Amino acid sequence: MKLKNVARTRLVVAAWIGFAFASYPVFAAPAAASPASTKWSFGLLTDTQGGGDPRGVSVRLMQPVVDRFVNNHDIDLLISIGDLTEDGTAGEFDTWKQAAQPLFDAGISFYATRGNHDVRAETTIAGLDPLLGPSGYRGTDVWSAAFPGLSAPAVVAGPGASYSFTYNNTRFVSLDMYGALPSQLIGWVTSQQKGSNDHMFVYAHEPFFGRAREGVLGDDALRLQILGQLGANGADAYFSGHDHQYSRSAAVAGQDVLLHHIVAGSNAEKYYRFENEFNVGEEVGAALIGNEVGYSIVDIEGPFVTFTHYSATPPASSNYDETWVPEWRVADRTTFSTNGDSYGIGVGESYAGLKSTIAAGNGFVGTDAEILAGENLDGRSVTTEPDSGPGITQQLGNIVNFGWMATKDGLVSDILYLGGMDDNLDNVADPFVLTMSYDESLAVDESMLRLMYELNGSWVLAADANTEGTPTFVAGDWQAEYGLGTYGVDTAANMVWAVVDRNGQFAVSAVPEPSALAFMLGGLIVLVPLAARRRRA
């Protein structure tokens, strides 16, 4: 899919994507080889190419990461997202497999896709793309000899070294960007469907939104069409490497997230500088981490996905034979759900109007949630140094995620997960107003219903979980002059609300509060405009 100089693409992509669905069948992935489970994990390993290491593999960086996968994370499978080696030779692939041997010994299923370095030893094949004209691509002989069969479950082959498979409740699509004509690759990948699975992930070596280097399609309208099509087909996220850095963003249409886009870090002995800013209008960037070794864990639980990136400061010496003992830290984390909604919100933009609904059925009573007011006030700035020119300072936005869990005893609504509004992985957010509906048939006394927050395994008043503000009850609907800590119930609309500064789990429950009547009768309601309140630094 090397299409960086194809102006014609803009003219033909719509026709080609439409043609692709007629040309490529939607592959029916084989049944999972293990018992179906909706709670499991997989790991992501990227860019282990040698850089300066004469072995062609960054062994001293790769070994501690492999140890983490085997001994610190209970993963079911591992995905390596390209550039396993420096030059793609048989000897380098043998070195890589030796470094990865603990994974195989632990019975962890392994899947990989090729990077631009992995195809260096392959034969170049000249071809004529039906839409783009002359175009070369690479053979697969060396790669196939190095990895003659991927681990169970079996894969369904695509063009070049592309493939797809299903594991538990998740479909995976591996796109080999180098082994077929560009139009063939586009047609194949945009024909892949999630089907009856809870999740679908697409992974390939090069990103569509490149931070350190230009994305695979350059600055071309085609990339957003492809990502949008993948999202429409049910893909949760697109994973890549190639940048030798970590970045997380989302492709957006307005504020609506089309697809999460993650460049999953690096384990190579070289680091590229961030050259490109986030593409305003096409994506919202949420994380940038440079010049560190990193790997990622993806935890699946039913419709929920938690993506966690770990990083460590690389070794300072150039002794590639030394044993490296890294100090790992959680560098980035996000949780989203396929039964909710996701939005990209830039710095200074309003949260008002973001909402999500879960329909009744399958254990859900049916609940609406909406943010009525609040702004992404503080934001985070990252300054990076390109190879030439002045430093680039970028403000990171927030990717706000809604997700739903079924109601439990004692609750009169379903459970809402709301995340992505915190800036420091601590659930603390800028103040916002959250409202949730409830099922009045489950309520004994609607006047006692309150918005609750899950804190350390217990449900507490959402206003009590705030970092600032005085909890203050109001009977009736929310008004713009109510400040942080104000909360209430609108029995006419079957809604509860609260002005809060926390992400996390919310629900509706009855809480007897004798003091609430005293607050109302005593006129103790503190009216402070929400816009005047900012969370404590």
SS (H, E, C) 193-238: CCCCCCEEEEECCCCCCCCCCCCCCCCCCHHHHHHHHHHHCCCCEE
pLDDT tens digits, one per residue of 443-456: 889 999 999 999 99
Is the CB of residue 283 less than 8 Å from the CB of residue 250?
yes
pLDDT at 150: 63
Over 60: is that where the pLDDT of 8 sits? no
Give the CA count within 13 Å in the CB-facing half-sphere of 185: 25
Over 80: is that where the pLDDT of 51 sits? yes
Dihedrals φ, ψ of 66, to 5°?
-60, -40
| Nearest to 265, CA basis, from 306, 301, 307 | 307
Max CA pair span of the chain: 83
Q: Name the CA dihedral angle for 110, 111, 113, 117, rounded to a multiple of 10 degrees.
A: 10
Amino acid letter, residue 409:
D
What is the pLDDT confidence band of residue 526, given thresholds at 50, 70 and 90?
very low
Cα separation, 85 vs 50, in Å, equals 6
pLDDT at 218: 67
pLDDT at 12: 36
Is the CB of residue 496 less than 8 Å from the CB of residue 436?
yes
Kindly write down the DSSP assignment for every residue of 476-523, as one continuous string.
Answer: SS--TT--TTEEEEETTTTEEEEEEEE-EEEEEEE---HHHHHHHHTT
Cα separation, 90 vs 150, in Å, equals 17
Residue with tokens 């139009």: 183
pLDDT tens digits, one per residue of 142-193: 999 999 876 555 789 999 999 999 999 999 999 999 999 999 999 999 999 9
Quick one: average pLDDT of 191-212? 94
Compute the residue count for the chain. Answer: 537
| Residue extent(s) of CATH 3.60.21.10 domains in the chain | 39-337
pLDDT tens digits, one per residue of 282-323: 999 999 998 899 999 999 999 999 999 999 999 988 899 999
pLDDT at 25: 32
| Residue extent(s) of CATH 2.60.220 domains in the chain | 342-532
Q: Counting beta carbons within 10 angstroms of the beta carbon of residue 282, is it exposed (0 to 12), middle (13 to 18) or buried (19 or more)? A: buried
pLDDT at 153: 59
**73: helix, strand or coil:** coil
- CATH homologous superfamily of 39-337 equals Metallo-dependent phosphatases (3.60.21.10)
pLDDT tens digits, one per residue of 381-411: 788 777 777 778 888 999 999 999 999 999 9
Q: Which two tokens stand for residue 159?
A: 């063009």
Q: State which fold the 342-532 domain adopts.
A: Chondroitinase Ac; Chain A, domain 3 (2.60.220)
Over 90: is that where the pLDDT of 131 sits? no
**79: helix, strand or coil:** strand
Q: The dihedral of CA 103, 108, 109, 112: what is its sign?
A: negative
